């Protein structure tokens, strides 16, 4: 077997390096030679094992002291993992959780038996289009968990206390060691017996059956802000699931469903609609009544307004969620309505108007021949002629 390189040389540090320098050097080299970033590279794999072994020794004060005094001979006859070095005493789960946390997507893991925030709850509420513009208050009925008054949240029968979990020793996590390509690897998992709390209830509370909480239906008022849009949610703090090990409660997220309006349509902070106007109003101009979310308003139409003309009602749109005094606009498309079921007098008046306005009813009759309708034989002959020409 080839002689092992000096551990300080492997990490590229001085013998006087402190713990922070050792950890920094290991972080850089482990990322560089990790098998996931060097697939199929045997040399990188070997260097990664070498760096791992050096860090395991130099990061442990006792092993480092032995290594400084006796060198590699201090670990001869070990449990054979990496050329005589015994990895069985090292908590590699903690090492890689700290070093590779940001490398594999996440920071250093919080202790499983530490305080944890409860899960968020979700609910939904339906409101009208007008309520989404002005804001409103709704009442929901949901199931919430509260601390059991009989055991005060411990889950244990009064007079008893939860016991330290024998499987994990109160740590909330257990460690499994297995052989891998890199030697002995330790995986850390949540303790299956205590669920990560580090405590086990032997004698359970009769009221909550050991959960520490009692579920009950409660009514909660939800304030819907003006300007909320369909699909957005309102967060109510501390109305979710209870936390564990002294952690805070989760939140309640209420999704708002806005019903469709028969006239208005929303896009961002603007409202769109159509409004009918008569032929006389379009031609002569005048006031027309237009519906808005704030009620009807009178708008002065200009003479000669064409159908599909769009007008803007400034500040009649949706208020901003951040500042309800800031509002979008309301855009209205004017549609000229063609009269139906005219009386004889109205028809005569319209004909006289047309004569004065350009005589459009008779304009196409002067000097124009009406196309003659073709017989079936003529159409058949044309089709046959076209077939012969092809």
> How do the domains of the chain map onto residue ranges?
7-99, 265-337
CATH for 7-99?
Answer: 1.10.287.110
CA distance to 14, 22, 23, 90, 363, per residue, from 18 (Å): 9, 6, 9, 19, 101
Task: Give mean pLDDT, residues 299-314.
Answer: 94
CA distance 291 to 352: 34
3-class secondary-structure state, position 299: strand
Residue position matching structure tokens 């551990």? 7
Percent of the chain topping pLDDT 70? 82
DSSP 5: P
pLDDT, the chain, mean: 82
List, for residues 277-292, the tens digit of each pLDDT value. 998 899 999 999 999 9
DSSP 319: B
- CATH 3.40.50.720 fits domain 265-337: no
| Cβ neighbours for 226, distance < 8 A, ≥ 6 positions apart | 132, 133, 134, 135, 319, 321, 324
Find the DSSP H helices in 250-339.
279-284
CA distance 305 to 339: 17
Task: Give mean pLDDT, residues 10-27.
Answer: 90
Percent of the chain topping pLDDT 90? 35
What is residue 266's predicted lDDT score, i.e. its pLDDT? 96
> Could you check whether 7-99 and 265-337 share the same CATH topology?
no
Tokens of 263: 């006239």
pLDDT top residue among 249 and 198 = 249
CA distance 233 to 289: 35
pLDDT at 205 over 50: yes
CA angle centred on 240, ends 236 and 244, rounded to 5°: 135
What is residue 109's predicted lDDT score, i.e. its pLDDT? 47
Pairing of strands 270-278, 330-337: parallel
Residue position matching structure tokens 């909660």? 220
Model confidence at 368, pLDDT cuts 50, 70, 90, reads low
List, for residues 47-81, the tens digit of each pLDDT value. 888 988 889 889 888 888 888 887 877 776 443 33
CA distance 328 to 271: 8
Model confidence at 1, pLDDT cuts 50, 70, 90, reads very low
List, for residues 346-355, the tens digit of each pLDDT value. 888 888 888 8
User: Which of these ranges, 75-79, 129-133, 259-263, 361-365, has the smallest mean pLDDT?
Assistant: 75-79
CA distance 326 to 319: 6
């Amino acid at each position: 077997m080839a002689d092992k390189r000096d551990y300080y040389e492997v990490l590229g540090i001085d013998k006087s390096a402190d713990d922070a320098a050792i950890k920094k050097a290991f972080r850089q080299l482990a990322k560089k030679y990790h098998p996931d970033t060097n697939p199929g590279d045997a040399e990188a794999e070997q260097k990664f094992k070498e760096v791992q072994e050096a860090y395991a020794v130099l990061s442990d004060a006792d092993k480092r002291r032995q290594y400084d005094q006796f060198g590699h001979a201090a670990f001869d006859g070990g449990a054979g993992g990496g050329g005589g070095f015994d990895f069985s005493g090292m908590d590699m789960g903690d090492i890689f959780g700290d070093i590779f946390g940001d490398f594999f997507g996440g920071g250093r893991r919080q202790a499983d038996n530490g305080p944890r925030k409860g899960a968020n709850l979700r609910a939904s509420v339906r409101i009208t289009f007008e309520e989404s513009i002005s804001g409103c208050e709704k009442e929901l009925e949901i199931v919430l968990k509260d601390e059991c008054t009989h055991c005060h949240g411990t889950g244990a029968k009064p007079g008893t206390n939860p016991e330290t979990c024998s499987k994990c020793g109160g740590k909330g996590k257990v460690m499994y060691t297995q052989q891998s390509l890199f030697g002995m690897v330790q995986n850390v998992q949540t303790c299956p017996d205590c669920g990560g709390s580090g405590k086990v209830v032997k004698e359970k509370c009769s009221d909550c059956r050991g959960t520490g909480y009692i579920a009950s239906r409660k009514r909660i008022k939800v304030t819907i802000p003006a300007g909320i849009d369909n699909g957005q949610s309102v967060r109510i703090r501390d109305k979710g699931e209870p936390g564990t090990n002294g952690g805070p409660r989760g939140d309640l997220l209420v999704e708002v469903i806005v019903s469709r309006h028969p006239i208005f349509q929303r896009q961002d902070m603007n409202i769109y609609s159509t409004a009918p106007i008569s032929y006389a109003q379009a031609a002569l101009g005048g006031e027309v009544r237009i519906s808005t979310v704030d009620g009807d308003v009178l708008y002065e139409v200009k003479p000669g307004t064409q159908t599909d003309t769009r007008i803007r009602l400034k500040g009649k749109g949706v208020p901003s969620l951040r500042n309800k005094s800031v509002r979008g606009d309301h855009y209205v498309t004017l549609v000229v309505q063609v009269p139906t079921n005219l009386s004889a007098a109205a028809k005569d008046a319209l004909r006289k108007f047309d004569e004065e306005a350009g005589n459009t009813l008779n304009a196409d009759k002067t000097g124009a021949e009406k196309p003659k309708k073709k017989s079936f034989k003529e159409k058949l002959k044309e089709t046959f002629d076209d077939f012969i020409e092809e």
